[in-house]
Amino acid sequence: MPLALPPQLPSVLIRRAAFERAGLTRAAIDQRLGLTDEEFRVEGGLIVVGPVLDEDGLAAFVTDLESAGLVYYEDFFDFSGNWPDWIRVFVGQV
């Protein structure tokens, strides 16, 4: 089932297999970003983290993911959240 992305703030989409391969944990990400249940969602092979607090938080999180061995675009991708409230965006993995 597709996951809705909220407007206004960026979200990060991560391939679940890459997340697990890198040994990442939800607990570590929660501690780093202070997430709620609605800000860390898993559906099938896709993880959605966010909305991330701001651009600085996004940049730091992207650096963390790359340091863990994930490759931007191949393993994860950031969605800007730069769209109006009247548009709904849904994501899923093919």
Q: Are strands 3-5 and 89-91 parallel, antiparallel or unpaired?
A: antiparallel
Q: Say what the pTM is.
A: 0.90
Q: What is the pLDDT of residue 34?
A: 85
Q: What is the DSSP letter of 84?
A: -
Q: What is the pLDDT of residue 74?
A: 96
Q: What is the pLDDT of residue 17?
A: 97
Token digits for 24? 């990442």
Domains and CATH numbers, the chain: 8-83 (3.30.70)
Q: What is the pLDDT of residue 73?
A: 95
Tell me the C-alpha distance between 72 and 76, whole Å. 5
Distance, first Cα to last Cα, the chain: 11
Ranges assigned E (strand) in the chain: 3-5, 11-15, 40-43, 46-49, 76-79, 89-91
Could you read off the pLDDT of 19-76 as tens digits, one per residue?
A: 999 999 999 998 888 888 889 999 999 999 988 767 777 888 999 999 999 999 999 9
